[in-house]
Every structure is written in C-alpha cells, then in structure tokens.
Amino acid sequence: MNQVKILLIIGFVWPEPKSSAAGGRMMQLISLFKEEGYDITFASPAMDSVYMVDLSALNVRKESVLLNSSSFDVFIKELNPSIVLFDRFMIEEQFGWRVAESCPNALRILDTEDLHSLRLARQRAFKEMRKFELTDLLKEDVAKREIASILRCDLSLMISEFEMDLLKSVFKIDKYLLYYLPFLLEPIDDLQLNDLPSFEERKDFVFIGNFLHEPNWNAVQYLKETVWPLIKKGFPEGKLHVYGAYPSQKVMQLHNTKEGFYIMGRAADAHEVVKKARVVLAPLRFGAGLKGKLVEAMLCGTPSVTTNIGAEGMLGSFSWNGVIDDDPQMFAKSAVVLYQNKERWLKSQLNGVRIVSRRFSKELFADDFKKTIQSLIINLEEHRLGNFMGAMLQHHTLTSTRYMSRWIEEKNKIR
C-alpha cells in the first residue's frame, strides 16, 4: 500500500458544479478525500469546457487521457494510485480493465450518480405510454452493462436509498458492495434562514435544470403544454422563469412573454435565482437518483411542487418541502395555493430545512465513509474473495475488452 495516499478520479466529463447536480456531487467527493489527506488527480477523456471548475484552484491535478490508448497504462503505473474512482459506469467500462491490470491493488470505487438503466427504462415506458414495472429493468441492455460494472468494482456509491434497495432486491447485489452516500450538505441554521428573502420579497415560479438531461427537457415541455396553462387559469398574473445550462433552439422557442413563460437560459448564479423565486416547479415524469434542483430549493428556503419521481429517495419519514402530486390538475392547483398562502409556504420551507438537516447533512455520513474506505484498503484481498461474480466478470473483461481496445488502438494508428 502506498505511503502517500493517492486518489485518481476518472471523469465522464470535467466537473461543472454550476451546470448540474452531478458536478456538485463530484465537488463534495473531492472535498471528502481532501480532508483525508489524499493527493488527487482528476483525469478525463472529455474535451475542456468553458464552465468546468478550475481544478488547480482546488489543488487537484488535471490530466487529459485518451480512450483505447496504452498511454493510459503508462500514466496510471507512474501515478500508482491507492484508490481509483470511476465517474459513472461508462467510464469503468472503458478504463476499469486497464486499472485492474496496471494497478491491481488499487481500491476501485464506482460513483453511480444515478442508476442509468432505471432512468432509461422509465423513459422507454413513458414514451410507450405504459406503466413502468421493475421487470422492465431486466430487459434493459444498459442494465446488464451497469450491473456488470457494479460487480467488477470493490464498492459502488449510491446516492438514493430507493436505488440501493432496488439493486439488492431486483439484481441480488450483495449489500457489502454498495454504500449509501447521498448529497453531503451543510445544515441551514436559524441565522441563515432569517437571512433568506421573505415570502413577501420573493416572486414568480422557477424551473431550473441542465437541458442535456432528457428528463429536464421533457418536464419543460410538459410545463409549457399542460401544467402552465392550468396554473395561468387559476393565477392569470403568474410568471414562470425557466433556467438551464445548454438550452437548444427548440428550448428557446418555447419563450412566450404573453403567456408568462420565460426561457432564461443558463443562470449566472443558480442559487441566487432560486432564492429570489417563491416556488420551484419540477413536474418530472421519469428519471432516477436525487434531484439537485429540489435539494437546491430547500437550501434556498424555496418550497417546491414536484412529482413522486421528483421526490423519490429524498423524503424518508419527513414531510415534503411543498407538495408532491402526479396529476396535472392537482399539481397546478397546489402550485397556486402554495404561491399565495403564506402560512402553508412557511411550513413547507421549514420542512425543507428539516430534510436537509436530517437526511443530507454531511456530518451524518462523512466519518463513516472515511472509515469504510480505510477498512476496505486494509482488507481488500479478503473483500474481493467474497465477490466471485465480480472476479469472474473482471477476468472475462480483461480477456475480451483488452483485445478489442488494442485492436481499436492499432486501427487508429493506421489512419
């Protein structure tokens, strides 16, 4: 085991904490490992982005890597990390076998972000206009890839208790391969709550979400075509501001000032935008994981109206930060009542504060996570002996993927 604690994070994209919840999640993980004294390198095959975080300012080394290239093998052998963290299963598919071959003693962790197969299966069921069933997951090709990736890793970080339970019940994944680690937030104290804009100081509805994420685009379409007309019927003076990174032309075309439907594009400061709004609308009809927009609403003291998909994995035994309803008529009615009723609004705000403090406070999870990682590093050989299915998949992946990747590499040299 290395004397110097070295962590290699291989990212699907470079972190953009101001563009998506996934970017914010990655910053939380980096912070956790920094607190434990890890020397961190963040590598990615992705192109640089204008909105990517300045990793050097966090004292994190940035490294661009190539897909299907043996140059990665040289790089990781020289780095010799104690831990490799894969950002989403697609990255583990590409680089996991190389890590296992070049640094077999490195602890391999998968940060799932959300269950991609769950999101895609729900999306397919929605488009086919039928009810989603858990058995749909067993027919989803992405599920086969995703579950294989989870089995090949020593530990997979799950952001949602619902998804963790689903992996154990539907796919029979052993619980010792999974670790529940949701958003890691600082609780809101009374002073911070009092500093937030009051009910009277706030105005308008808001939706916020990255438009590269299909559930967000679908939700905005649904707002435009179905939900917002119902809200306007009960509240003619209402205005909705839709914010989100990477809006396409088809998103921008929904802008209509006469309808009070404003497409605003990327928010310079999402926190400020949500903090000034009175109610967040999030009529999500499919998706997975925890919804960053709804957690952000709670941190901003802004009540929200969402669906059961939107609130999934967040509530526990607590009351929601507003209203949960899947019926468009009731969703719209609840939105208007919440907007106009100060007493209900204040109660909803306090519900959100309670959820942040009791469900997602960093202090609830940080110490146990650090101890778990240290224990796994010390007992890695024994841990892996208990995961025969993972070892078998790793063996076949090394055999098959290695040759496919080398073939692609040689083919690329000829071009």
Low-confidence ranges of the chain (pLDDT < 50): 1-2
Domains and CATH numbers, the chain: 6-184+365-414 (3.40.50.2000), 190-360 (3.40.50.2000)
Residue 169's pLDDT is: 95
Angle 37-38-39 from CA coordinates, rounded to 5°: 120
Amino acid, single-letter form, for residue 338:
L
Listed in order, strand segments (DSSP E) in 118-239 are 155-158, 178-180, 205-208
Residue 414's pLDDT is: 64
If DSSP codes are grouped into helix, strand and coil, which group holds residue 87?
Answer: strand
Do 113 and 87 touch, CB atoms closer than 8 A?
A: yes
The answer, as to whether pTM is greater than 0.85, is yes
Over residues 207-263, the pLDDT tens digits come to 999 999 999 999 999 999 999 999 999 999 999 999 999 999 999 999 999 999 999
Two tokens, residue 253: 């075309």
Over residues 305-345, the pLDDT tens digits come to 999 999 999 999 999 999 999 999 999 999 999 999 999 99
| Per-residue 3-state assignment (H helix, E strand, C coil) for 253-308 | CCCEHHHCEEEEECCCCHHHHHHHCCEEEECCCCCCCCCHHHHHHHHCCCCEEECH
Do 195 and 267 touch, CB atoms closer than 8 A?
A: no
- Environment class of 224 (CB within 10 Å of its CB; exposed 0-12, middle 13-18, buried 19+): buried
107 pairs with which residues across the strands?
A: 83
Residue 393's pLDDT is: 87
Residue 20's pLDDT is: 84
